[in-house]
Amino acid sequence: MDTDTATGEWTDTPGRPARRRFGAWCAALLFAGVSVVVGCRTADVDGVTPVPQLLAFLPWLLVPAAAGLLLAVLARWWTGAVWGVALLGLLAWFIEPYGKTGEPAGPPVAELRVLTSNVEFGQATDALIAAVRREKPDLVFVQECEYTCDAALRRDLGADYPHRRAVEGGGSEGSVILSRFPLTPGPGVRGTMGMPGAVADVRGHAVRLQLAHPMPPLPDQLGLWRTELGRLRDAAAEDSRTPTVLAGDFNASQDHAAFRRILDTGLSDAARLAGQDRTPTWPARTTPVFGAQIDHVLVSRHFAAHRARFLDLPDTDHRALVVDLTLHAGG
């Protein structure tokens, strides 16, 4: 605003209304894009492309929402400012961790360490072997472990991990569960990529193990992604009485409705229990500054989680996750 020297009245600087209209339009575009994603999150659905892909990075939508609010205020578009505040409030609400938590009932009967890692077509096999030797987990879940990876794990870790369940395959199709504890075969979950299952004898207590590696939410394969996450959900719900560990690369975060359906069976995310919810695991090149947590260790109510750590392994686009668990009798 400037002063008219002849009349002494305030007047708009030439061009300012146009700049305000432009700022309001930019704010509206930002709000519209964020609103589509937040609307699907509010409706508890994953929507269509690009919504599922953007949902993985839901916390980062605070940036365009805040930018839109700033533009709305500068443009004096007060309706837009209210819109922006509402979006920021909803985003803050949804960023809160999802799922139930609680202390398991019954006395502790065993301590165990679990490691899960996607080795990206076997490229990070050597780094994984070094991490396993260093971390000494009791259970190891390996995704994208193709034939050479499988052979290397047998050769280098077979003495320490004599028990295994695997789905052999090339590229991303192979997966392996390694265990210090005796294993009996489990049904596994049918999927495009290998998802073996087993039952471990942990100090005389049966523990269901299931590796997770559904298809990613590619634009032309969203139906398959939902279907395979749904199969994991069904597997988790089959037996709520037996202690269960469901671990791997879920290609989904807590902001995906299909993943929340798995948590709704009564499982909890061990990283959240250990105070590390939303720590990014993918893509490894930009973590921990930017990314999404799509690698998880989910546990039934029989477990307490004490610590979760994320390992940066070379030659893979995923961070490995290590969690320390306590198994309680009775649950």
Question: What is residue 99's predicted lDDT score, i.e. its pLDDT?
Answer: 86
Q: Where are the beta strands (DSSP E) in the chain?
A: 2-3, 10-11, 108-118, 139-143, 163-167, 175-179, 183-185, 197-202, 205-212, 244-249, 268-269, 295-299, 303-311, 320-328
Predicted pLDDT of residue 102: 81
State the pLDDT at residue 184.
97
Tell me the C-alpha distance between 222 and 58, whole Å.
Answer: 18
pLDDT tens across 117-171, in order? 999 999 999 999 999 999 999 999 999 999 999 999 999 999 999 999 999 999 9
- CATH says 108-328 is which class? alpha beta
pLDDT for residue 15: 66
- What is the structure's pLDDT at 105? 83
| pLDDT at position 5 | 47
Q: What is the pLDDT of residues 249-277, one digit of tens each?
A: 999 999 999 999 999 999 999 999 999 99
pLDDT for position 13: 59
Handedness of CA 67, 73, 77, 80 (dihedral sign): positive
What residue segments make up the domains of the chain, in order of their start? Answer: 2-95, 108-328
pLDDT value for 318: 98
**Taking the alpha carbons of 140, 146, 149, 155 in that order, is the dihedral positive or negative?**
positive
Beta bridge partners of 324: 113, 307
pLDDT number for residue 12: 54
Which residues 6+ apart lie within 8 Å of 24 measured at CB?
71, 72, 75, 77, 80
pLDDT at 8: 44
- The H helix count followed by the E strand count for the chain is 9, 14
What Å distances lie between residue 88 and 60, 61, 98, 257, 260, CA to CA?
A: 11, 9, 18, 20, 22
Low-confidence ranges of the chain (pLDDT < 50): 1-3, 5, 7-10
